Amino acid sequence: METRPLGETGHESSILTFGTIALDFLDQPEANRMVEDVLDAGVNHFDVAPTYGDAELKLAPKLAEHRDEIFLGCKTQERTYYGAWGELHRSLDRLDTDYIDLYQFHALTRYDELDTVTGDYSPEMAQGHDEGALAAFKEAQEEGIIGHIGLTSHGDPSVIRTAIKRIPELETVMFPLNYTLDAKEGPEYDYRSVLDLAQERGLGTLCIKAFAEEPWPEDLPRDERPYETWYRPYDTPDEIETCLRYALSQGMTSIPSAGDPQLVPMILDAARNFEEMDAAEQERLRDAARDADSPVPSP
């Protein structure tokens, strides 16, 4: 599988990142087999989070066997100094590892969250410490517990751009991009500007929601959805290949796989067979999707 430089981290990431939330829907033997299949396909970048059910626990056995082969990204939605330290150590315990390659502020979507993370808020909010989660990240990095610092968001593009400018320690950013979003006008859809700024700053870029087609119908109960994804995904080999080719042809470093284990084999095949998409085909896709409903951004 093709690899690309993950910004200036020094790591060459596979163009597909394994979204390990898929492991949460499998029993342990099935989870073990999926990790081996993903590694055999050439994937070297894994993404996990404490909010992904038991994904950390189910990844742990194979992570221990293949630790040197896996560039491990993990995340926290804690915004305070002590909260971030606590969740980092909990993830290390659940993953049964002593370091995380890329630790990320997860799902940061609001300016007040950004203020808390960076410590730019009133002292009475500090809960006994005058710095936010960023200070904990930097200390963990100095101690060798984490290697690199990143951010993920599926919200307001302006918040992501502001975070990139205010947190010079950032080395990666994860955000949505697909041809439906790219076809729309309006600041709430302007993830293209996030990509441009990230590339200008030398950040690695991770593309979430690349396989998102549209929101689930509001009247469709969760237990009747055919996939364990929060959006309706494209789900045929040709559609998945088109989604992956489009996103990677914009210069994204890597694309996390969709969260449902049923989709992972098709996504692996598409990544192994990746070919650049020409400009004319990209424009045709945007034209066809201009009036489609997008499931992002999301608060």
d(CA 107, CA 109): 6
Q: Per-residue pLDDT for 105 more than 90? A: yes
For residue 37, the one-letter residue type is: D
Task: Specify the higher pLDDT residue, 119 or 240.
Answer: 240
Compute the mean pLDDT over every residue in the chain, rounded to the nearest whole number: 95
The pLDDT tens digits for 150-176 are 999 999 999 999 999 999 999 999 999
| Number of other CB atoms surrounding residue 68 within 10 Å | 6
Q: Which residues pair with 105 in a beta bridge?
A: 76, 151
Whether 292 has a pLDDT exceeding 90, the answer reads yes
Tell me what pLDDT residue 123 has: 53
- 130 has pLDDT over 90: no
CATH numbers and ranges of domains, the chain = 3-289 (3.20.20.100)
- Identity at 32, one-letter amino acid code: N
pLDDT for position 297: 72
User: pLDDT category, 122, cuts 50, 70, 90?
Assistant: low
Percent of the chain beyond pLDDT 70?
96
- The predicted-structure confidence for 199-227, as pLDDT tens digits, reads as follows 999 999 999 999 999 999 999 999 999 99
Report the percent of the chain where pLDDT is more than 90. Answer: 93
Of 264, 256, 259, 263, give the one whose Cα is nearest residue 230.
Answer: 259
Say what the pLDDT of residue 210 is: 97
User: What beta strand segments (E) does the chain contain?
Assistant: 3-5, 12-14, 16-19, 45-47, 71-76, 100-105, 146-152, 172-176, 204-208, 212-214, 232-233, 255-256
Sign of the dihedral through C-alpha 223, 224, 225, 226: positive
Its pTM stands at 0.96
